[in-house]
Copies of this chain bind each other. A is one copy, B any other.
Amino acid sequence: MKRKVKVKVTKEIEDEIEQAIKQLGLSPKLEGAVLYTLKLPGKRLRPRFVMASARDFNVDEDIAIKVACATEMMHAGSLIHDDLPAIDNDDYRRGQPSNHVAFGEDIAIMAGDLLFSVADYMCTKSKSNDVIKAFTQTLIELVDGETRDIIMSKKGYKPSEAEILQMYRGKTGALFAFSFSFGPLMAGIDPSSYREAGYEFGTYFQIRDDILDVTATFEQIGKTPKKDLKENKATIVKIMGVTQAQKFAEDIRDGILSKVKKGFLYDEIEKMLLDKK
Residues of A within 8 A of B (CB): 24, 26-27, 29-30, 81, 84, 86-87, 104-107, 109-110, 112-114, 116-118, 120-121, 124, 127, 129, 132-133, 136-137, 139-140, 142-144, 146-148, 150-151
Contacts and interface: CB of A to CB of B under 8 A. Distances in A.
A120 B120 CA distance: 7
A129 B26 CA distance: 23
A140 B117 contact: yes
Nearest to A144: B26
11 contacts: A26-B140, A27-B151, A86-B105, A107-B150, A110-B143, A117-B136, A117-B139, A120-B120, A120-B136, A121-B137, A124-B136
A27 B147 contact: yes
Given A27-B148, A105-B86, A124-B129, A114 B136 contact: no
Most buried by B among A26, A30, A110: A110
A109 B78 CA distance: 11
The 3 closest A-B pairs by CB, nearest first: A117-B139, A86-B105, A121-B136
Contact of A112 (B87, B113, B124, B132): B113
A84 B132 CA distance: 30
B137 A106 contact: no
A24 to B, nearest CB: 6
A150 B114 CA distance: 14
A124 to B, nearest CB: 5
Contacts of A116: 113, 116-117, 139
Contacts of A104: 86
Contacts of A144: 24, 26-27, 30, 114
A193 to B, nearest CB: 22
